[in-house]
Amino acid sequence: MTNSSPLKGQKAIVTGANSGIGKAIAMALGRAGAEVVVNYRDGEDAAVAVVKDIAQGGSRALAIRADVSREVEVKDLFRSAVEQLGTVDILVNNAGLQRDAPFEDMTLEQWNTVIGVNLTGQFLCAREAVREFKRRGVVPAVSRAAGKIICVSSVHEVIPWAGHANYAASKGGVMLMMKTLAQEVAPHRIRVNSIAPGAVRTPINREAWSTPEALEALLRLIPYKRIGEPEDIGHAAVWLASDDSDYVNGTSLFVDGGMTLYPEFASGG
């Protein structure tokens, strides 16, 4: 990327930006010149710390609480972002969680919580973003697009995952929601894409990397032989939000060290 501030003058909302991948994306967008809304549901202190980090790097940031699975809270989030920043150019639909259980033991609450945040939450936020992007339209001095939506999905939008039916169903749903929305709003110059991370070192999957044995087992699933770092996803988000990817629309960008390459087929088959 030639321009070190490719997002200068743009306003972004990153959901679930108080930790993990969302935090790294918010910081990367801030470093790229965007003003950033750091959304969180719990963990206000962590969100305020992310805001401070972004401000130290020279970009404006603010923390706004909202549970993305609740329609009124999502509307308030966007209203307050537009009031304070003027508009929104970039939505990163990141907030997500896991509630794992064997299929026959999975409660309806576990199912609904995961679908509610990971899928319905992305729908509610994307809907508000599309409304704002269409209201404002393209401002050529800011970006070639009227707006960009980046859905944070997972390799599990294509890889089935035993013991995680709710999570895999939510991410498979995000994939077709993203593509359908991309098709629908492209004529309005709105770009919609996903980042599909593999195993990234964050609190959500601590069990998979926090002991040497677990890490060794995990690396067997990753041809590139390293775990992903949150910054790997931050870099991808800056590119997808910038005009450098202006002709990219309706795509899932896998950032997974090759996890989706059927590593067990490297020998055998």
Establish how many alpha carbons lie within 13 A of residue 15's alpha carbon, considering only the half-sphere containing its beta carbon.
30
What gap in Å lies between CA 43 and CA 165, rounded to an integer?
27
Residue 198 Cβ, how far from ligand BGC at the closest point, in Å? 5
The stretch near ligand BGC (CB under 6 A) out of 62-70, 141-149, 172-180, 202-210 is 202-210
Residue of the chain from 155, 175, 192, 241 that contacts ligand BGC (CB under 6 A): 155
Decide if residue 252 touches ligand BGC (CB under 6 A).
Answer: no
Is 40 one of the catalytic residues?
no
Binding to ligand BGC (CB under 6 A): which residues in 73-132? Answer: 98
Decide if residue 172 touches ligand BGC (CB under 6 A).
Answer: no
Torsion of CA 184, 189, 191, 192, to 10 degrees: -20
Residue in this structure with the two tokens 């639909």, named with its chain if needed: 93
Residue 188 Cβ, how far from ligand BGC at the closest point, in Å? 30
Torsion of CA 175, 179, 185, 188, to 10 degrees: 110
Residue 231 Cβ, how far from ligand BGC at the closest point, in Å? 17
What gap in Å lies between CA 74 and CA 67, rounded to an integer?
7
Decide if residue 16 touches ligand BGC (CB under 6 A).
Answer: no
Torsion of CA 177, 15, 193, 59, to 10 degrees: 160
Decide if residue 50 touches ligand BGC (CB under 6 A).
Answer: no
List residues bridging with 11 in a β-sheet.
Answer: 35
Active site members = 167
**Interface with ligand BGC (CB under 6 A):** 98, 154-156, 198-199, 204-205, 208
